[in-house]
Amino acid sequence: MWPFSRKGPSGFSWYSTAEEVTQGLDGSGLTAIVTGASSGIGSETARVLSLRGVHVVMAVRNLSTGASVKEAIVKEIPTAKVDVMQLDLTSMASVRKFASDFDNLNLPLNILINNAGVMSTPFTLSQDGIELQFATNHVGHFLLTHLLLENMKNTSRESKIEGRIVNVSSEGHRFPYREGIRFDKINDQSGYGSWTAYGQSKLANILHANELSRRFKEEGVEITANSLHPGSIITNLLRYHSFMDGGSNDMLRRVASASQRGEWKVF
């Protein structure tokens, strides 16, 4: 049997769509924030959550692109509740402004999907002087989660509905720098590796979710925190590399191989 079509314990396979996985679910009354919702996995997540009745807040860097995605969603789903708000994860000021603006809407927050990211970029520093991949994939989402956490705790407590935080990680977390996360060398350009820096940021996503989960259990908070590998999916995350690039091919082969062996899981 073709391995990607084999169904797992959940009853779904790599070929299962978001619509199939959420069939029969009613998200009416729930509010979700999806970062990076203007393309790829993020836009499909926003669309299907809207289809299931969830009020979706699209957190996007480019408002024009986000507005186009929203228009397409509303055209397909006339009853959809979708808002578009600007969020640049490379800027801590932008993250703080987004969180403040969201709080001013007086909306509950049931679901936070930390999806936005960049992959294997040339060495660059963020607006705050942090290596771009670590800043975008981890630090920005870490701060965003922290700033929204009180709202999520209040929402779960008042609604009696368990909250959800999802960090979109990657099988690439298995291939960081040799020492793991180089906290004392985050901005070391001389030792920078674009793929290992990506793996480092994805490892941080997992550790973040694990620690949140531990703290929620310790505090008795009704929120779950999970990280996941979405699979090898062709999106504009690959914009910095061609499939003809040997390094990219090697990394993708390693990721796909580990995934087919069943070595990745939802943490």
Phi, psi torsion values for 82, nearest 5 degrees: -135, 130
DSSP letters, 213-243, are HHHHHHHT-SEEEEEE---S--SGGGTT--T
Phi, psi torsion values for 32, nearest 5 degrees: -130, 140
Give the CA-trace dihedral at 238, 240, 243, 246, to 10 degrees. Answer: -130
- From 15, 177, 192, 198, active-site residue: 192
The one-letter amino acid at 24? G
Are 99 and 144 within 8 A, CB to CB? yes
Mapping DSSP to helix (H, G, I), strand (E, B) and coil, where does residue 245 land? coil
Task: Outline where 77-173 has alpha helix (H).
Answer: 92-104, 132-134, 140-159
Does the active-site annotation cover 15?
no
List the one residue out of 63, 66, 20, 67 whose CA is nearest residue 40.
66
Cα–Cα distance measured from residue 12 to residue 91, given in angstroms and rounded to the nearest whole number: 37
Q: Any idea which residues carry the catalytic annotation?
A: 192
